[in-house]
């Protein structure tokens, strides 16, 4: 399970204008390269009459899969600067398409790099980011007499309270930061006076602000 990383909070768009050229950045989530390419194809289809549809994406917890396309802009002035913004902001599992409608004023190589970088950066700011953080899923089983007190304690703890099931005993799903399983088990024993049963589950990625 990877360390935490960032992904865009949702799909969205943001537009800027520089010297009469319009730069519309479309951002989306992509869990693999196929999803990224499908997103790119959809944006290009929607903006088929644009001057350029330049692209960049990073896939995988460490950005293992990366790809850029300048779509007719001078080499290295669009896709690479877009990707650099994703890298610098530590954003992955994300695809960016910047659609340019030329306004009649040449920007030069430096101007293009700044424009495409700014388009992606401002779009990220507009849609926001979330963290994907690895947790261990833990199941705690207690009697009804201890359940209320335990739930209250969990709300004020660093552990994330999940689903609660009521039957002959109460089962509580708790997400615990990786590496804190032993500390959590000790904490549960204290909170329940040793009356709780704790089962260790698998690792999951949760999205946090």
Same domain, 123 and 137: no
Say yes or no: 13 and 78 in one domain.
yes
Identify the domain containing residue 150 by its residue range: 133-208
Q: What one-character DSSP code corresponds to residue 30?
A: -
- Residue 117 sits in the same domain as residue 195: no
Cα 198 from Cα 26, distance rounded (Å): 45
Q: How far apart are CA 12 and CA 85, in angstroms?
A: 17
Question: Based on the domain organization, do 87 and 106 belong to the same domain?
Answer: yes
Same domain, 22 and 76: yes
pLDDT tens profile 9-58: 999 999 999 999 999 999 999 999 999 999 999 999 999 999 999 999 99
Q: Are residues 122 and 150 in the same domain?
A: no
Q: Are residues 79 and 171 in the same domain?
A: no
Quick: pLDDT tens for 104-140.
999 999 999 999 999 999 999 999 999 999 999 999 9
Domain termination residue (choose one: 102, 127, 152): 127
Residues 6+ apart with CB under 8 A from 173: 137, 138, 139, 140, 161, 162, 163, 164
- Asked if residue 139 and residue 117 are part of one domain, the reply reads no
Whether residue 2 has pLDDT greater than 70: no
Phi, psi torsion values for 155, nearest 5 degrees: -60, -30
Q: In this structure, are 81 and 177 located in the same domain?
A: no
Instruction: Find out whether 14 and 85 touch, Cβ atoms under 8 Å.
Output: no
Nearest 5 degrees, angle CA 37-CA 206-CA 26?
A: 30
pLDDT per residue as tens digits for the range 67-106: 999 999 999 999 999 999 999 999 999 999 999 999 999 9
State both tokens at 203.
Answer: 């690792």
Identify the CATH number of the domain in which residue 171 sits.
3.30.70.240
CA-angle at 113, arms to 79 and 58, nearest 5°: 30
Contact between residue 3 and residue 178 where contact means Cβ atoms under 8 Å apart: no
Whether 1 shows a pLDDT value over 60: the answer reads no
Same domain for 33 and 84, yes or no, is yes
Same domain membership, residue 119 and residue 183 = no
* pTM for this model (two decimals): 0.87
Judgement on whether residues 111 and 47 belong to the same structural domain of the protein: yes
Residue 102 has φ and ψ, to the nearest 5°, of: -65, 135
Domain count, the chain: 2
* Boundary (domain end) residue, out of 127, 156, 185: 127
- The domain that holds 13 is classified in CATH as 3.30.230.30
Sheet architecture: strand order including 21-29 = 12-18, 21-29, 94-101, 52-59, 65-69
Choose the final residue of a domain: 84, 108, 127. Answer: 127
């Amino acid at each position: 399970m990877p360390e935490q990383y960032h992904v865009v909070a949702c799909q969205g768009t943001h537009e800027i204008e520089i010297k009469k050229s319009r730069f519309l950045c479309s951002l989306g989530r992509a869990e693999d390269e196929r999803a990224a390419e499908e997103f790119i194809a959809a944006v290009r289809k929607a903006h088929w009459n644009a001057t350029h549809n330049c692209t960049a994406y990073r896939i995988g917890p460490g950005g293992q899969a990366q790809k850029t396309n300048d779509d007719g802009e001078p080499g290295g002035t669009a896709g690479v600067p877009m990707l650099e913004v994703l890298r610098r902001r530590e954003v992955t599992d994300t695809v960016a398409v910047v659609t340019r409608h030329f306004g009649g004023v040449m920007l030069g190589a430096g101007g293009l790099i700044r424009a495409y970088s700014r388009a992606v950066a401002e779009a990220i700011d507009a849609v926001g980011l979330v963290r994907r953080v690895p947790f261990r899923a833990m199941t705690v089983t207690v009697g009804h007499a201890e359940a209320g007190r335990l739930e209250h304690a969990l709300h004020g703890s660093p552990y994330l309270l999940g689903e609660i099931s009521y039957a002959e005993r109460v089962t509580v799903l708790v997400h615990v930061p990786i590496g804190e399983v032993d500390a959590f088990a000790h904490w549960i024993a204290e909170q329940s006076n040793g009356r709780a049963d704790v089962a260790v589950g698998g690792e999951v990625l949760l999205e946090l602000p």
